[in-house]
Amino acid sequence: MKQARDMTKMTARSTLRQGADFIAAGLVTAPIATVIDRVSERYAVAVTPILAGLIDPADPEDPIARQFIPDGRELMPGAHDLEDPIGDDAHSPVRGIVHRYPDRVLLTPLLQCPVYCRFCFRRERVGGAEKGLDETEMTAALDYILAHHEIWEVVITGGDPLMLPPARLSALLAALEAIPHVQIIRLHSRIPLADPTRIDAAMITALSLQRAAVWLAVHSNHAREFSPPAIAACQALNRAGIALLGQTVLLKGVNDDAAILEALFRTMVAQRIKPYYLHQLDLAPGTEHFRVPIEEGQALMRSLRGRVSGVCLPTYVLDIPGGFGKIPVGPTYLQGSDAVDWRNETHSYKIDP
């Protein structure tokens, strides 16, 4: 892996987008480059230099490559594919807003990312011709939040909100902080790991508010994503007092293994990132080859309890298709009077009323 990282550092000086870019970086052969170009005709492709440098081209099962290098199976329809897997459209009162739960909304100011995950549930929209919110649309979105006093938390997503220039992000966060009933602003991003140079003084200043609490959910699916520059970016965010959460998707061939998840969650916690959600993969088109059965995910979560402390354990969740929200789907440890411990041993727990 060290050899791959050094080689790519010399060749991948900009984001990889076309098959020829991946060939020049020494990551794929010509036939695979042809597949990349075919997939890119439908879905956005981008791999940042730092992530490209983490890929071992000698390993056909490399978990970083699997997440970000296009695969021809993405163009194969799956039996359960949904264009809008979690029902965003059904709960969008104005463009850029999704209001699924009473006390929080999603705000999507842009649809660009530094890197495009091959399993993204918004893959039909991100990175394409559809633009982010213009000034009029942003005003309408903010007016909607202002008019709905039940909104306590605004979750900024996309696309990746940290792709916004710091000045524009600062203006957006200031506008949200000026709404009295908005107490929490949460941003979801891959930037700290995928393009950590963006976490500079200007970005940290933009994220540092006076009243509203800012939480940053850092998306990561494998411990190897925590390169030295990524760790430095997380440390800078920690020093600024920005609370960090960890967001992970359960992916076949990437992290569907207890030891791999253990290493990831321990790495997160060591960087003061609280593992928040382990997502069951959404039913996005062309992602069936990544899907892990829920029963296997439950077994993985059961095996982790006892191997790691509670601070390392996320909630395993399913986002119900159609926009009905997330539900915990982790294993059950108490059935009737039978309590199952972390060793998978059963004990009686019965208290008479």
| HEC assignment per residue over 73-111 | HHHCCCCCCCCCCCCCHHHCCCCCEEEEECCEEEECCCC
Burial of 54 (0-12, 13-18, 19+ CB in 10 A): buried
Report the SS3 class of residue 35: helix
In whole angstroms, give the CA distance from residue 49 to residue 10: 10
Q: Residue 16 forms beta bridges with which residues?
A: 47
The answer to whether 19 and 36 have CB atoms below 8 angstroms apart is yes
Residue 294 CA to residue 112 CA, distance in Å, equals 30
**Catalytic residue list:** 100-101, 104, 113, 117, 120, 122, 282, 319, 326
Q: Give the span between the Cα atoms of 169 and 208, in whole angstroms.
A: 11
What span, in angstroms and rounded, lies between the C-alpha atoms of 57 and 65? 8
First to last CA, the chain: 60
108 C-beta neighbours (distance < 10 Å), count: 23
Complete DSSP assignment for 161-227: GGGS-HHHHHHHHHHHHTSTT--EEEEEESHHHHSGGG-SHHHHHHH--SSSEEEEEEE-SSGGG--
Q: What is the CA radius of gyration of the chain?
A: 21
